[in-house]
Amino acid sequence: MNTLKLLIVDDDPITRMDIKEMLIQAGYEVVGEGRNGEEAVDLAYRFKPDIVIMDIKMPKMDGIKAARIIRNFSFCAVILLTAYSQRELVNDAKEAGVIGYLVKPVSEEGLIPAIEIAKSQQEQFHLLERDIRLLKKSIEERKIVEKAKGKLMKRFSCSEEEAYEWMRKKSMEHRISMFKLAEKILEKYESSMASK
């Protein structure tokens, strides 16, 4: 069973019904259905789907504009449906952050692979996002270690290597990370400065 949550948005109820049937048969969960771009935005905000399957040409707000808005608050993948395949629509869709593009009439042979590719793209995006977050954390922690090392060098008139070696030794003795040790050094330094 697939645990992906999908949202279907199309102004044609027959198209919505056909797509919903295909998705349910394939084991996906359809969390909502909408008739236009405004409803797409509201439903995406409310249900937080993994993938939005949405028509381009709809009343009130088209699918490309809705995709742009949705991508501002959600990391869900957007697959656009259209009866048209004009080049400018494809370019607009890419600029709006759309992952997939299906030409109507939609068949199960086209829909399911598009969803699986969108799912894969989304997973890669989340992994990349996690790696960036970890990298930022690592850089921030490294800055704190460097700052603490600088305070030790100044206080004990020692070299960078000696300060680092002292921190490494203390880190192992107290079984705490270099980052935690650096935080303690800086706290001690700041409190001693405040008491002067």
Can you give the residue ranges of every domain in the chain? 5-106, 134-194
- The pLDDT, as a whole number, for residue 38 is 96
Q: H helices of the chain, where? A: 13-25, 37-47, 63-73, 87-95, 108-156, 160-173, 178-194
pLDDT confidence bin for 1, thresholds 50/70/90? very low
- Are both 5-106 and 134-194 of the same fold? no
- The pLDDT, as a whole number, for residue 92 is 81
Look up the CATH superfamily of 5-106: Response regulator (3.40.50.2300)
Q: Which of 47-61, 79-93, 135-149 has the lowest mean pLDDT?
A: 79-93
Q: Express as a percent the part of the chain with pLDDT over 90.
A: 62
Number of Cβ within 10 Å of residue 61's Cβ equals 15
Tell me what the mean pLDDT of segment 110-136 comes to. Answer: 87
- Provide CATH code, domain 134-194: 1.10.10.10
Tell me what the mean pLDDT of segment 113-132 comes to. Answer: 86
pLDDT for 93 beyond 80: no
